[in-house]
Amino acid sequence: MAADIWHFIKDILTIKAPTKSPLALRMVVLTFSMLCGLYICSICLKQVSIRTNGGLINIEVVQRPCEPPKIEAWERAYVHYPQPKTFSRAECRCNPVRYFAILSTQRSGSGWFETLLNSHSNVSSNGEIFSVKVRRSNISTIVQTLDNIYNLDWLTSASKNECTAAVGLKWMLNQAEILARYKPMINTTLIIPNLRQVEEMTAKALQYFNSTRHIILYYEDIIKNRTKLLDVQDFLRVPQMDLKSRQVKIHKGSLSQQVENWDDIQNTLKGTPYESFLHSDYKM
Ligand SMILES: *[C@@H]1O[C@H](CO)[C@@H](O)[C@H](O)[C@H]1NC(C)=O
Ligand SMILES: *[C@@H]1O[C@H](CO)[C@@H](O)[C@H](O)[C@H]1NC(C)=O
Ligand SMILES: *[C@@H]1O[C@H](CO)[C@@H](O)[C@H](O)[C@H]1NC(C)=O
Ligand SMILES: *[C@@H]1O[C@H](CO)[C@@H](O)[C@H](O)[C@H]1NC(C)=O
Ligand SMILES: *[C@@H]1O[C@H](CO)[C@@H](O)[C@H](O)[C@H]1NC(C)=O
């Protein structure tokens, strides 16, 4: 419905990775926020009026309007009642749906986080949709793809037979592939500027979305503190469930065994604000 579309505001989940990231990240954040802005604009412009003209008889099927959900007034703008083209929401018709996007860097555990989300029967997170190049080739294809997802017409393994209450996707802040198959040699001259750059990038991204409802998640918090996942479910306003993932950690063992020149890195980070990263060993 036009009114729902008017109030299109996405909820944002941000995952921050304490790792270094490539140089192009800032540009990607900027581009992403521009795309988001454009998308929201184009959604606002696209007010579809549905008319049944022509023909001798005009039959209008009027469905009983849904009862307004029991939520605060400020939250009304965040709930939607999608009408998928590919199937009928039937008994779920009056279950409000919230839209979200997970913004994340590579190798930040967001894939694992997403499998946890998808183990919830009311949540559908559709993965890194825009890793397929043709879908991000221009603004029309991006809008079309997002429309399909948020209208629940994107049928994947993440689609639910239950009533979906939160639907979203994952968007990488950088498209660069940093595969951790080998032991990286970290440049000790660049590590501190790089860490600083990621910090700035994250601060900027948060500023772009400062007026959008969001929750910030740290990988460390999800690992160490399982009540964080309850916070996420509260944020998405879905009933609390025990979330599980079958993903396994690729890198086992201590951090010192993962980096070729660990001793140099240790010397470089000692006494800096980033010293705590040296002790960030996590067990799952
Ligand atoms: C956008 O890209 C799609 C797929 O590459 C193409 O078919 C379409 O013509 C493009 N539209 C515009 C407006 O450039
Ligand atoms: C979750 O799905 C169940 C089963 O379809 C449904 O009864 C329930 O209302 C849904 N919860 C929400 C918050 O939509
Ligand atoms: C580290 O990066 C700097 C700046 O890009 C470069 O000059 C230097 O050669 C690099 N060191 C190593 C060991 O690769
Ligand atoms: C959000 O950030 C902008 C600058 O990007 C700033 O002008 C505005 O005051 C901020 N709003 C809030 C609520 O912090
Ligand atoms: C775990 O997270 C909750 C909020 O989700 C917080 O209140 C609590 O203090 C955290 N516990 C630890 C041990 O960090």
Q: What is the pLDDT of residues 134-179, one digit of tens each?
A: 888 877 888 899 999 999 999 888 888 899 999 999 987 655 443 3
163: Cβ below 6 Å to ligand 2?
yes
Q: Which ligand is nearest to the CA of 218?
A: 5
Residues with CB under 6 A from ligand 5: 225, 227-228, 231
Residues with CB under 6 A from ligand 3: 187, 189-190
137: Cβ below 6 Å to ligand 1?
yes
Q: Report the pLDDT value the prediction gives residue 177, as an integer from 0 to 100.
A: 40
Q: Atom 5 of ligand 2 has which residue's CA nearest to it? A: 162
Q: What is the pLDDT of residues 66-123, one digit of tens each?
A: 888 888 877 888 899 999 999 998 899 999 999 998 988 777 888 999 999 999 999 9
The pLDDT confidence band at residue 235, using thresholds 50, 70 and 90, is very high
Q: Atom 7 of ligand 3 has which residue's CA nearest to it? A: 189
Q: Report the pLDDT value the prediction gives residue 280, as an integer from 0 to 100.
A: 73
Tokens of 190: 């660049």
Residue keyed to tokens 């997170």: 125
Percent of the chain with pLDDT over 70: 71
Q: Which ligand is nearest to the CA of 142?
A: 1
211: Cβ below 6 Å to ligand 4?
yes
Contact 180, 107 (CB under 8 A): yes
Distance 214 CA to ligand 4 centre (A): 14
203: Cβ below 6 Å to ligand 4?
no
Q: Report the pLDDT value the prediction gives residue 260, as an integer from 0 to 100.
A: 84
Q: Report the pLDDT value the prediction gives residue 250, as an integer from 0 to 100.
A: 58
Q: Report the pLDDT value the prediction gives residue 205, as an integer from 0 to 100.
A: 85
Distance 257 CA to ligand 2 centre (A): 45
Q: 3-state DSSP helix/strand/coil percent for the chain, to nearest 5?
A: 40, 10, 50
Tokens of 24: 């192009």
Beta bridge partners of residue 217, listed in sequence order: 15
The pLDDT confidence band at residue 248, using thresholds 50, 70 and 90, is low
Measured at the alpha carbon of residue 158, what is the angle toward residues 153 and 163, in degrees to the nearest 5? 70
Q: Report the pLDDT value the prediction gives residue 174, as an integer from 0 to 100.
A: 59
Q: What dihedral angle (degrees, nearest 10) is formed by the CA atoms of 170, 176, 182, 185?
A: -120
Q: What is the pLDDT of residues 251-263, one digit of tens each?
A: 666 778 778 899 9
Neighbours of 124 (CB within 10 A): 24
Q: Report the pLDDT value the prediction gives residue 96, as an integer from 0 to 100.
A: 93
Measured at the alpha carbon of residue 11, what is the angle toward residues 7 and 12, in degrees to the nearest 5? 145
Residue keyed to tokens 């890198």: 251
121: Cβ below 6 Å to ligand 2?
yes
Total residues found in the chain within this entry: 284
Residue 208 CB burial class (10 angstroms; 0-12, 13-18, ≥19): middle
Please give the Cα distance from 99 to 73 (Å, whole number): 17
Helices (H), ranges, the chain: 2-6, 25-45, 110-118, 139-150, 191-208, 219-224, 227-235, 262-269
Higher pLDDT, 117 or 13: 117
Please give the Cα distance from 1 to 24 (Å, whole number): 38
Distance 206 CA to ligand 4 centre (A): 10
The pLDDT confidence band at residue 226, using thresholds 50, 70 and 90, is confident
Residue keyed to tokens 């067990």: 283
Q: What is the pLDDT of residues 15-66, one digit of tens each?
A: 554 444 444 445 444 444 444 444 443 343 343 333 434 444 555 556 778 8
Q: Report the pLDDT value the prediction gives residue 281, as an integer from 0 to 100.
A: 63
Q: Report the pLDDT value the prediction gives residue 80, as an integer from 0 to 100.
A: 92
DSSP letter at 138 equals: S
Question: 91 Cβ partners below 8 Å, 6+ apart?
Answer: 163
Q: What is the pLDDT of residues 177-223, one digit of tens each?
A: 433 445 778 889 999 999 998 889 888 888 888 888 999 998 888 88
Q: Which ligand is nearest to the CA of 204?
A: 4
